[in-house]
Amino acid sequence: MINYKQLIQKAQNALKFSYSPYSNFKVGACVLTKSNNTYVGANIENATFGATICAERVAIDSAIMNNDKEIVCIAIVSQSGDYTFPCGICRQVMAEFSNDMEIVVAKNENDYKIYKLEDLLPHNFTQKDIK
Ligand code: THU
């Protein structure tokens, strides 16, 4: 089983694929699924700004496109050297796949905090609410 440190290192490696000419703010993410597979992502910006996609959603979408939907954990790093928390849209996308998901926000592989999605997005709206 992959550990938090390895997941963070994979997220750090993904930073090099960040396409962020507008913000110059690189973000990397790595998803871990129940089947012990990992999927990385980096933020991909766009001249319209609104079409920008965050690192977390690139990683999550990659897992989904591999039909690997049971996401157990996601590690997030950025070039800031500080903890980088997922934006509201990414939290909502995470909620679609698991309320138990662990979110690891890391300054580096030795300095990180772990949260449960339900703590970062309480009382969320998901499939169960559509009746
Ligand atoms: N960004 C992410 O990729 N993930 C986050 O959690 C926060 C923000 C990106 C979006 C944009 O490319 C840049 O960081 C500045 O907002």
HEC secondary structure over 96-125: HHCCCCEEEEEEECCEEEEEEHHHHCCCCC
Residue 114 Cβ inside 6 Å of ligand 1? The answer reads no
Do the beta carbons of residue 116 and residue 103 sit within 8 Å?
A: yes
Which SS3 state, helix, strand or coil, does residue 17 take?
helix
pLDDT of residue 59: 98
Catalytic residue among 56, 70, 109, 118, which?
56
Residue from 22, 30, 53, 54 whose mutation best tests the ligand 1 pocket (most atoms within 8 A of CB):
54
Q: Is a pLDDT exceeding 90 seen at residue 1?
A: no
Which of 58, 60, 35, 36 lies closest to 45 in space, CA to CA?
A: 58
> What mean pLDDT is reported for the chain?
97
Q: How many CB atoms lie within 10 A of CB 84?
A: 21
What's the rounded Cα separation, in Å, for the pair 20 and 29? Answer: 15
Nearest partner of 37 among 20, 13, 55, 62, judged by Cα: 62
Residue 52 Cα: closest atom of ligand 1? 12
Predicted local distance difference test score (pLDDT) of residue 92: 98
The model's pTM is 0.97
The 10s digit of each residue's pLDDT in 56-88 is 999 999 999 999 999 999 999 999 999 999 999
Please work out whether the CB of residue 66 comes within 6 Å of at least one atom of ligand 1.
Answer: no
